Amino acid sequence: MIKVNAIGDNCPIPVIKTKKAMKELTGPDTIEVLVDNEIAVQNVTKMAQSSGGKVTSEKKAEKEYRILIEMEGAPAAEEAEEEVSCTPDKRGNTIVVVSSDKMGSGNEELGKVLMKSFLFAVTQLEELPKTMLFYNGGATLTTEESDSLEDLKNLEAQGVEIMTCGTCLDYYGLKEKLAVGTVTNMYSIVETMEQASKVIRP
């Protein structure tokens, strides 16, 4: 694994350091990039994906983010020479509300597969949501046994606020197993939805 420490670096330095590490690859390898803000996560993620990398990221602590980039080798020359730019925050004022661990009605197993695909698709949006709210059955998706934890941690690392209903976690006995985001209450859920410019419900 190649390690890149870009904590304390302003854009575009984290992207430049990561591109340099990519150019030095001689075969399949993983690059670990450490940064201290969500915008750096967004910029490094965008560049790495455009260079053919598989990217995951997570928030380790306040002002500490870890990005893992799986590469098959050095990017093609034209990709490596792409101009480095600092893009603005990708988050809009859209709220995603998830009230079940399944998407749609009908077959339960299919519904769970569709929900997992939906949450992954959110990570690929050009404009990320500002907040994702999880309540009722959706509260299980932010806990330790969730198949979507990697995608949700990726979104959180890019600045998306992940909020899960505390009453719901208590009901399912999962409050101690929350693995991403924070616990919220009904007042905050209503307030967040009321202030949103758009609400998406899968």
| Assessment of whether the complete model's pTM goes beyond 0.85 | no
Q: Where are the domains of the chain?
A: 2-80, 94-200
Per CATH, domain 94-200 is 3.40.1260.10: yes
- What 24-30 contacts at long range (C-beta under 8 Å, 24+ apart), as own/partner pairs, is 24/74, 25/71, 25/73, 25/74, 26/73, 26/74, 27/73, 28/70, 28/71, 28/72, 28/73, 29/1, 29/2, 29/71, 30/1, 30/2, 30/68, 30/69, 30/70, 30/71
Which pLDDT score is estimated for 92? 80
Q: Look up the CATH number of domain 2-80.
A: 3.30.110.40
**Active-site residue numbers?**
11
pLDDT of 81 over the 80 cut = no
Which pLDDT score is estimated for 183? 97
Which pLDDT score is estimated for 98? 98
Which pLDDT score is estimated for 29? 96
Which pLDDT score is estimated for 164? 98
Which pLDDT score is estimated for 100? 97
pLDDT of 84 over the 70 cut = no
Tell me the C-alpha to C-alpha distance, in Å, between residue 130 and each of 18, 53, 89: 26, 25, 10
pLDDT of 78 over the 80 cut = no
